Amino acid sequence: MARPLDWQLATVAAVRDETPTVRSFTLRLPDWAGHRPGQHVDLRLTAEDGYSVERSYSIASEPERGPDVDITVERIPDGEVSPFLHDVVVVGDRLEVRGPIGGYFVWEPPLGGPLLLVAGGSGVVPLMAMLRHRARAMPRPPTTLLYSSRGPDEIIYRDELEALSGAADGPGVAHTLTRRQPPGWTGYARRIDEPMLAEVLEPLGSETRAYACGPTALVETVANGLVRLGLPPERIRTERFGPTGT
């Protein structure tokens, strides 16, 4: 059995478009002990001259799908890895992967709830693994996803989120669109702030566990806001990316 820190060769089993700039890749791992929702894998690309580059990608799929794991990747035009994944990689290709990694930003049913998941942009990916696992597991605590996107076309997993939220015991899903709203939009239309957090937290109550993933500024706003609203810091888990102070 490969340990999580060993590199192994995964085969790309499927590729799926999520939005015009976001694509999911199903990786079939030859040696996979399973993962916990919220964990990530490292991907390593090596050029012919030996230059190699690594990136971390959250696992989007639920553990029940092992040994397949999905990663969801936004195409960044000046990136080193994502243009390769989007423009070059096809089904049947092989990629170096290690993981699963991470023991902190993780949720499993025994941890309980209620659950408040807060995402900015592609920060929704590890939270989607939690929602997908929750849909196939018991117990199923009351759960709300608050998800900030720039515009309607940039909502990742939009149809699946709608289906999940419509199911019995399904999660509540609250969208905020910060830059572009379609005509007749009834969701939030501003950056996540404390009044918004208060509204989504109120029905869940003071025993809520919170997970926030996204750009650093969003995660800081969420973590600080939830503490001011009375959640103990140890019930708030964060995963952030991007520079501080923006």
Partner 1 sequence: MTGDREKRMAMDEQLVLDGNAAGGLLAAAYGADVTSWRGRCVHCGTISVVATLRVYVGGPGTVLRCPVCAGVVIRIAETPTGLRLDERGMAELGPGR
Residue 59 CA to residue 10 CA, distance in Å, equals 14
User: Do 123 and 218 contact (CB within 8 A), yes or no?
Assistant: yes
Contact call for residue 243 and partner 1 (CB under 8 A): yes
Contact call for residue 80 and partner 1 (CB under 8 A): yes
Q: Which two tokens stand for residue 130?
A: 């939690």
Length of the chain: 246
> Helices 216-228 and 194-201: crossing angle, nearest 10°?
60
Q: SS3 of 159, please?
A: helix
Contact call for residue 79 and partner 1 (CB under 8 A): yes
Contact call for residue 76 and partner 1 (CB under 8 A): yes
What is the smallest separation between the CB atom of 49 and partner 1, expressed in angstroms?
Answer: 16
Closer of 48 and 78 to partner 1 (Cβ): 78
Contact call for residue 238 and partner 1 (CB under 8 A): yes
x/- site string to partner 1, residues 157 to 196, per CB under 8 A?
----------------------------------------
Size of the site for partner 1 (CB under 8 A): 43
x/- site string to partner 1, residues 130 to 159, per CB under 8 A?
------------------------------
Contact call for residue 42 and partner 1 (CB under 8 A): yes
What is the smallest separation between the CB atom of 140 and partner 1, expressed in angstroms?
Answer: 24
Residues 6+ apart with CB under 8 A from 99: 4, 35, 39, 40, 41, 42, 59
Contact call for residue 70 and partner 1 (CB under 8 A): no
Q: Which two tokens stand for residue 221?
A: 């706003």
Please state whether 98 falls in left (phi above 0), alpha (psi between -120 and 50) or beta.
beta
Please state whether 34 falls in left (phi above 0), alpha (psi between -120 and 50) or beta.
left
Residues in touch with partner 1 (CB under 8 A): 4-5, 22, 40, 42, 54-58, 71-76, 78-82, 98-99, 101-105, 121-123, 125-126, 213, 215-216, 238-244
